[in-house]
Amino acid sequence: MNTSGFTTRLVALTRKEMRQMLRDRSNLIVGLLLPVVLILLFGYGLSFDVKDARVTVVLEDGSPAARHAVAGLQGSPYFAPVWVRTMDEAERLMQEDKTDAILYVPGDFSRQQAAGLGRVQLLLNGVDSTTASTIEGYVSGALSRQGGQQGDRLGNKSAGVASVVIVQRTWFNEPGESTWFFVPGLIVLVMTLIGAFLTSLLIAREWERGTLESLFVTPVRSLELVLAKLAPYTLVGAIDLAMCLLSAKYLFRVPMLGSLWVIVVSSMLYLLVSLALGLFISGATKNQFAASQMALLASFMPAMMLSGFIFDLRNVPVVIQGVSYLLPATHFMSLIKTLFMAGDIWPDILRSCAVLSLYALVLIAATCGKLRKTLDETT
Amino acid sequence: MNETPTVVVQNLCKAFVGPDGKRFAAIDHVSMAVRAGELTALVGPDGAGKTTLIRMMAGLLKPDSGSLQVLGIDVAAHPQSVQDRISYMPQRFGLYEDLSVQENLDLYADLHGVPQEQRHERFTRMLDMTDLARFTERPAGKLSGGMKQKLGLACTLVRSPDLLILDEPSVGVDPLSRRDLWKIVQQLVDEEQLSVIVSTAYMDEAERCGRVVVFNHGRLLADGSPGTLRQRARGMTYTASPPQGTPARELQARLIDRPDLIIDAVPRGGNVRFIRRAEEDEPRLKDVLRDAPYEPRPEELEDAFMMLLRQQEGEKGATKPSGEAPSIAVNGRQDQPVIVVRDLVRKFGDFTAVASTSFEVIRGEIFGLLGPNGAGKTTTFRMLCGLLPATSGYLEVAGRNLRTARAEARGRIGYVSQKFALYGNLSVRENLEFFGGAYGLRGQTLKERIAASLEQFDLDPSAQSGILPPGYKQRLAMATGLLHQPDILFLDEPTSGIDPLARRAFWRTITALAKGGVTIVITTHFMEEAEYCDRIAIQDAGKMLALGTPQQVREQTAASGAQDMNSAFIAIVEQGRAQREIAANSI
């Protein structure tokens, strides 16, 4: 009797939530269209890669050795080199923001190189530090490759003595594509936005319209209300997850080293956390406007800034690190990146999933608490 | 019938923190019992504590002290067991506006665990009673206010509960829907021996109940059958007729200005009904009445109610009605129209909110605009104030054509909106200064006008506006509307949400203003307040159905046996609707 009442009520409430969701066009647009926009925006629009870097080469030494040393800049998609005669000219270009870097090859380069002390100078435009360090990496890569070949050719007679040749290889993201790095993070963002933002309106709306007062004086239990509100948006979240995964595989061709089912299960777990967070905010504020603002501030913004989506968390101040480890998004971010690019690493998977499950339980319990059937102000 | 009481309340207390940060008792040591199978009314003005008591009964609020048993269960300890057995309709019933009528019913039937086999019969009956059978597929949000309320009641009654609690089911509902709602409740009490607790501010509704409990300021003032409560006013109730040619409200004003002799006085049906103090002697009464003849009339529940309120107010030694007639000098002759409306039309897209309406309002007149919800009152009102342009027709206010000189016309009118539209966190004086400035008053003139207003409306200049009691907010709103000494004062539902005593004081000010030459245009949903008006207009579906003095309007429906304004109103609106239906069918 008791359990059948529970099921009847849960089904009735879920049906109600489903209908309300389907009839509210604006909510559906946010739920299904916004993720598409985010996928395209972040997938194509956000990139740390630099193409056609404007490098001005000042070649004071016209010798074949010097020419050869910088030949690596030519014929590469990464560089668009400009050749000038004097440093003054190059500096002018830099001042006018017409170049991103100056590679200075001094007049005595070939002589010095013969002595094993070949030196060039790289000046970078540091206004955009990310681009500057990327170019630095590219240039030194191009030069050392060239230097290496040179060394080989010379039988490593002189150059090899002084210079250490670095053979560089990047693991987990071999081409160094930032898309590979962003797309898994995108799943985190989409799940966060859909979860928290959409559900943040649900309870607040019922408070505002006075529907809760009527619902309270029925056999309904708080848990039924919460579960019924989670159900339809879990479905929307699942559709969004499918869109993310499909675009990751077929649009951006990001490798998925981990097993698909682990990715799906852990993503759904995170979705549940963020749905519950949205519901909790909704129940706590009792006001749609405040709830949606809070949801953005408390979930989407931190997920974007503090979860390691863009910035490596080890480089941020300790306090902010502490804050970011409080965010469920941080745990899921590291998990999903690992799953995509490194594969199933079980200790990581289990630890992160345990943390996420804990969050989900705590938030659902807290939401039930906020939906205690009383109109007394919480004291 | 069950002998054990349905609800037992003992020494119950509940306090809240008010907007001013102080605690106030919403329910103050209340004890009462509700018998099973009976219709019990909780009566009292807004803020009396009715909703708080009802919410405690429904297990939504916890009492601070005292005990409360519903259906033999301690509600505070086991709210859910009570909630499983009662049905409760809050003041604002929670319909899901994007769900259809049927879906709303299904939802509540599922939540209450109504077995499938009983549903068909119950739904049919509910839809039949509420006359919603034609609209089952319509989203609840697209129903009219009255229909929404009826659907709320139907959702509450998807099963036959052990106790039905209705919190002001008729608030904000027009008289027609109000009557329908009560028919449904009455029918259920008769057929199912349902125990019902209903709160209301309407005396005619309380009169239908088996038992009436009167509240004010959280205190229980009286408890008994309507008959026993009426007894309190026995021998003290009279009707006086004003001299030929003078409005009843002038005699009423004279009477209400003598609280030492008269407990209450209201204009009704062209006469003045009053309650005299029992201990006072005839000569002094005759003196106040001057030559007006008067005779005893049977006492009513309303009389007893007003006596109880006055008595409590007297104990507190609170507000006395402002006796002084505020002096506002208005220049211009009487008997000339200050508002001329000809063939006024307002359309919103395909929808005609106001259909070719014509009337005139004379200087110094009190003109009432009545009509059910959605009748076009507010639209008409907004056009008169120049807040909304007319689609077509001629509109002249204070001698200015609203099409060509809207700003000028606005300078001559004062407007008091339905909601408190002043700045809650400013003091009374700051609000007056701001609105005075907005009307172009400055320097010495502004100072003098503010000083006069403060005295006239008995306001404390340093009080924060937002935390004034409703009656005082109303006064402040009036004061700001009158600062620039307008020719015409527009009042939109000014008396909703304020208690009967404050309403008496409000109308006393209005009658004084009218005497001083200010023209008043007012909307109200209290039909008896139409009696203060010189002339009234009744609108429905954008059409003007009746126009004339309250007497004329009542006579228009004499055939249908309407005695008071309320039934006259219902008769006129129903006639209008029937005619419209005939017209629609003949096309």
Domains of chain B in start order, with CATH, are: 7-224 (3.40.50.300), 232-316 (3.30.70.100), 332-412+488-497+519-587 (3.40.50.300)
Query: Distance from B493 to chain A by nearest Cα, in Å?
Result: 23
Low-confidence ranges of chain A (pLDDT < 70): 1-3, 48, 145-168, 170, 174-176, 378-379
ipTM surpassing 0.85 = no
In a mutagenesis test of the A interface, which of B88, B103, B107 is the best target, namely the one with the most A β-carbons within 10 Å? B107
Q: Are A210 and A149 contained in the same domain?
A: no
What is the per-residue pLDDT for A159? Answer: 43
Identify whether the C-beta of residue B530 lies closer than 8 Å to the C-beta of residue B536: yes
In a mutagenesis test of the B interface, which of A3, A203, A218, A368 is the best target, namely the one with the most B β-carbons within 10 Å? A218
Q: Are A43 and A62 contained in the same domain?
A: no
Contact A374 B61 (CB under 8 A): yes
Residues 22-61 of A with CB under 8 A from B: 23-24
Query: Distance from B511 to chain A by nearest Cα, in Å?
Result: 39
Nearest CB neighbour to A24, from listed B86, B98, B113: B98
What is the per-residue pLDDT for B316? Answer: 53
Q: Are A226 and A268 contained in the same domain?
A: yes
The answer to whether A259 faces chain B, any CB pair under 8 Å, is no
Chain B residues close to A220, C-beta within 8 Å: 111
Q: Are A125 and A227 contained in the same domain?
A: no
Q: Confirm whether A375 is domain-assigned.
A: no
Chain B residues close to A210, C-beta within 8 Å: 90, 92-94
Residues 8-27 of A with CB under 8 A from B: 8-9, 11-13, 15-16, 19-20, 23-24
Residues 164-223 of A with CB under 8 A from B: 206, 209-221
Taking residue A112's Cβ as centre, other Cβ atoms within 10 Å add up to 14
Query: Distance from B492 to chain A by nearest Cα, in Å?
Result: 24
Structure tokens given for A11: 């089904």
Q: Are A184 and A318 contained in the same domain?
A: yes
| Sheet with strand B535-540: strands edge to edge | B413-416, B488-492, B519-523, B366-370, B535-540, B543-548
Q: Are A287 and A251 contained in the same domain?
A: yes
> Cα separations (Å) of B205 from B107, B332, B526, B530?
30, 45, 13, 19
The answer to whether B118 faces chain A, any CB pair under 8 Å, is no
Nearest CB neighbour to A373, from listed B79, B96, B108: B79
> Cα separations (Å) of A17 from A215, B134, B528?
13, 25, 44
Query: Distance from A26 to chain B by nearest Cα, in Å?
Result: 13
Q: Are A6 and A148 contained in the same domain?
A: no
Q: Confirm whether A63 is domain-assigned.
A: yes
In a mutagenesis test of the B interface, which of A217, A373, A379 is the best target, namely the one with the most B β-carbons within 10 Å? A217
Residue of A nearest to B57 (CA): A217
The answer to whether B430 faces chain A, any CB pair under 8 Å, is no
Identify whether the C-beta of residue A291 lies closer than 8 Å to the C-beta of residue A204: yes
Look up residue B309 and give its amino acid. L
The answer to whether A312 faces chain B, any CB pair under 8 Å, is no
Q: For A67, list phi and psi in degrees, rounded to 5.
A: -55, -45
Contact B55 A375 (CB under 8 A): yes
Nearest CB neighbour to A218, from listed B62, B93, B111: B111
Q: For A136, list phi and psi in degrees, rounded to 5.
A: -55, -45
Chain B residues close to A3, C-beta within 8 Å: none
Chain B residues close to A214, C-beta within 8 Å: 88-90, 93-94, 152, 155-156
Number of domains in chain A: 2
Q: Confirm whether A80 is domain-assigned.
A: yes
Q: Is the dihedral of CA B443, B448, B449, B453 positive or negative?
A: positive
Q: Is the dihedral of CA B510, B514, B516, B517 positive or negative?
A: positive
Q: Are A325 and A204 contained in the same domain?
A: yes
Kindly report the CATH number assigned to the domain that includes residue A155: 3.40.1710.10
Q: Confirm whether A128 is domain-assigned.
A: yes
Nearest CB neighbour to A219, from listed B83, B92, B155: B83
Q: Confirm whether A379 is domain-assigned.
A: no
> Could you tell me which of B44, B36, B111, B113 has the C-alpha nearest to residue B70?
B36
Q: Please provide the DSSP assignment of B173-199 as one string.
A: --HHHHHHHHHHHHHHHHHH---EEEE
In a mutagenesis test of the B interface, which of A8, A205, A214, A221 is the best target, namely the one with the most B β-carbons within 10 Å? A214
Q: Confirm whether A169 is domain-assigned.
A: no
Residues 6+ apart with CB under 8 A from B520: B365, B366, B367, B488, B489, B491, B510, B513, B514
* Residues A14, A1: Cα–Cα separation, whole Å: 20
Q: Are A60 and A43 contained in the same domain?
A: no
Identify whether the C-beta of residue A244 lies closer than 8 Å to the C-beta of residue A221: no
The answer to whether B386 faces chain A, any CB pair under 8 Å, is no
Residues 227-246 of A with CB under 8 A from B: none
* Residues A118, A159: Cα–Cα separation, whole Å: 9
Q: Are A223 and A305 contained in the same domain?
A: yes
Query: Distance from A213 to chain B by nearest Cα, in Å?
Result: 7
Whether pTM exceeds 0.95: no
Query: Distance from A8 to chain B by nearest Cα, in Å?
Result: 6
Nearest CB neighbour to A20, from listed B80, B96, B108: B96
Query: Distance from A204 to chain B by nearest Cα, in Å?
Result: 13
Q: Confirm whether A100 is domain-assigned.
A: yes
What is the per-residue pLDDT for B245? Answer: 79
Residue of A nearest to B116 (CA): A8
What is the per-residue pLDDT for B30? Answer: 95
Query: Distance from B382 to chain A by nearest Cα, in Å?
Result: 27
Q: Confirm whether A37 is domain-assigned.
A: yes
Q: Tokens 């039937």 belong to which residue? A: B109
Identify the domain containing residue A6 by its residue range: 2-47+177-370
Query: Distance from A13 to chain B by nearest Cα, in Å?
Result: 7
Within chain A, strands assigned E span: 55-59, 82-84, 101-105, 121-124
Contact A375 B84 (CB under 8 A): no
Q: Are A192 and A333 contained in the same domain?
A: yes
**Number of Cβ pairs closer than 8 Å across A and B?**
90
> Cα separations (Å) of A13 from A276, A367, B103, B183?
17, 17, 11, 31
Residue of A nearest to B88 (CA): A217
> Could you tell me which of A189, A187, A194 has the C-alpha nearest to residue A243?
A187
Each residue's pLDDT, cut to its tens digit, for chain B (587 residues) gives 446 889 999 999 999 987 777 888 999 999 999 999 889 999 988 888 999 999 999 999 999 999 999 999 999 999 999 999 999 999 877 789 999 999 999 999 999 999 999 999 999 999 988 889 999 999 998 887 788 889 999 999 998 899 999 998 887 777 778 888 898 899 888 888 889 999 988 888 899 999 999 999 899 999 999 999 999 999 899 999 988 878 888 889 888 888 888 889 999 888 899 998 877 677 888 888 887 888 999 999 999 999 999 888 876 544 444 444 444 444 445 567 899 999 999 988 888 888 888 999 998 899 999 887 777 888 888 888 888 888 999 999 888 888 888 888 888 888 888 777 788 889 999 999 999 998 888 889 999 999 999 988 888 999 888 888 877 888 899 899 899 889 999 998 888 777 788 888 889 989 988 888 899 999 887 888 888 999 999 988 888 889 998 888 888 887 766 677 888 888 888 888 888 888 877 76
- Identify the three-state secondary structure at position B360: strand
Q: Are A184 and A230 contained in the same domain?
A: yes
Query: Distance from A218 to chain B by nearest Cα, in Å?
Result: 5
